[in-house]
Structure 1
């Protein structure tokens, strides 16, 4: 019975997240023609500091935890919400001790529209372990390059948003020592994400 209730809870949260997705798309305007890019280069990872609504966040301050790093933006019509819903469902499937040692960094590559406060409101719809970050264009380009993330602005006069950002949709998995250990593809299933988190946590989890 507990297992069934747990599954129903996950389904209910997923339904709410999907509802948010459609609401967000309506309020941000229709998107069209967005392209998912491939990795720009072999990812090497490394430390970085970016801004959140509560102040600067440094990756190395999260040592001891598994950190998932995803590059996107809040006005993304479908690619980002899809991945965040799958990531959030994976987080909800973890044991409490595992969840306590797992964080997700949603890094916006659209600093023109995504200030830290906007990011905080956006990621809150998905899961409390997801933190929204951004920085200057120069910071973002340098960090994205080290993680192999590709993105480019595409003007779209037919969209209420004015422009889209084509971007890669991979999720980087950073282990508790701060080492990039895996890169998950676009729309990886929650079960795949969960397995990657548990593998990175190691036997201590």
Structure 2
């Protein structure tokens, strides 16, 4: 039974990724394509400190400080990502959907684009809710994105355009969990399942403030 349930979950994730590709993938005209500057975390960097930031949503500035009292999930990626981002966001969405209604009110997830030249706040507003209605997409200037990525230890690197002048962005694929006090509590690796994400969220919803 357990194996069957895992197989069903995998099929759901892969189906979501396929539907995403059909719905959102589109080639860009050459004039709009420009490789983003590299941002790589140094190999000797200290443990990321996390911390507050302000980026841009479709309705205006969005600040992490506004979500004190909630568990926050951060994922860095981009909307033209063909596979890793859709799969990761589908798993995050499954975890969010596994929460009770009262728990969902205490959790917020953000998708931060590492490709701000192509990912406007408006495009992100269309993209993010495809995975979950509460997921919020955030963009900013290249400098703003680089600063937030450095805070959380995320890395990314735009690749040279191909013959069709399209390009990809290599990026790390962790999910960052911020506790109700606004502190980076966990960095969940790419291989984390929706069940592991759900358990991590609930652990920090239930944790007493004194224990932080």
Q: Which runs of 4+ in 1 moved over 3 A?
A: 10-16, 24-29, 37-41
Report the CA distance shift for 1:202/1:136 in structure 2 as closer, same or farther (over 3 A).
Answer: same
- Name the structure 1 match of 2:20: 21
Q: Which digits, 9 at most, give the CA deviation of each residue in 1:130-188, with x for residues without a partner?
A: 10001111111111001000001101314x56111100001100011101000000141
Of residues 117, 122, 125 in structure 2, which corresponds to 1:120?
125
Contact preservation (8 Å) 1:28, 1:161: no
Residue 155 of structure 1 aligns to a residue in which SS? coil
Contact 2:13 / 2:87 at 8 angstroms: preserved in 1? Answer: no
Instruction: Name the count of aligned residue pairs.
Output: 189
Q: How does 1:49-88 map to 2 (within 5 A)?
A: 49-88=54-93
Contact 1:104 1:129 in 2 (8 A): yes
Give the corresponding residue for 1:151.
Answer: 156
Unaligned runs of 5+ in 2: 1-8, 29-38
Q: Alignment partner for residue 189 of structure 2, among 185, 190, 193?
A: 185
Gaps of 5+ in 1: 1-9, 30-36
Structure with the bigger percentage of strand: 1
1:198 aligns with 2:198: no
Compute the displacement of 1:199 (Å): 1.0
Question: Any idea what SS the aligned residue of 2:49 has?
Answer: coil
Q: Does 2:91 align with 1:92?
A: no
* Alpha-carbon separation, structure 1, partners of 2:165 and 2:130: 21
Tell me, in whole angstroms, the C-alpha distance in 1 between the residues paired with 2:41 and 2:205.
25
Distance 1:187 1:112 in 2: 28
TM-score using structure 2 length: 0.80
**Whole-Å separation in 2 of the counterparts to 1:87 and 1:178:** 19
TM-score by length of structure 1 reads 0.83
Give the aligned partner of residue 172 of structure 2: 168
Distance change (3 Å), C-alpha of 1:95 and 1:38 = farther
